[in-house]
Amino acid sequence: MNLSLTLRSIAQRMPDRPAVSWDEGALSYAALEAQVQRIAGALRERPAPVPQMERLLAALDTHPACGVRSAALRLRGTAVESDERAPALRVAQAALQSPCWRLQASALAVLTRLGAPPADISALPTFLRGAQFAAKQ
């Protein structure tokens, strides 16, 4: 489940229905979606300093929820400079062995973005073994 996509879908179907309400008022699904997009955009434009981001990502990498680890890996893979590639590559290669297909899919996306081939796809479910990866094994 992707909370962002779910919210966007509901906002498109029922934009004026209340998503959040409190004693003084309410926020519609459309308004909530707009707020979420503004916050996400600001975080993408101004990420945390590298040491702080590494601490945050290290904590998220060990989270028990697969979706959280998957999101952390994608975030790790989007904000890498040349000197920060090694941790992203290491985490992505390790994630290929996870039993969580979402995490595996995120690992493949990060590796592709960074131009690195997956080291071992034997643990991947068949639907994640695209032709470009199957031919290399």
Amino acid 130: pLDDT: 75
Amino acid 134: pLDDT: 47
- Structure-block tokens of residue 90: 């290491």
Amino acid 50: pLDDT: 77
Q: Residue 21, SS3?
A: strand
Phi, psi of 26, deg, nearest 5: -155, 160
Q: Which residues contact 5 (CB under 8 A, 6 or more apart)?
A: none
Q: Residue 107, SS3?
A: helix
Q: Which residues contact 84 (CB under 8 A, 6 or more apart)?
A: 50
| Pair 57, 75: CB distance under 8 Å | yes
* pLDDT, tens digit, 9 for 90 and up, residues 61-92: 888 888 888 888 888 777 666 566 888 888 89
* pLDDT, tens digit, 9 for 90 and up, residues 41-68: 776 677 778 788 788 888 888 888 888 8
* pLDDT, tens digit, 9 for 90 and up, residues 13-40: 888 998 888 888 888 888 888 887 777 6
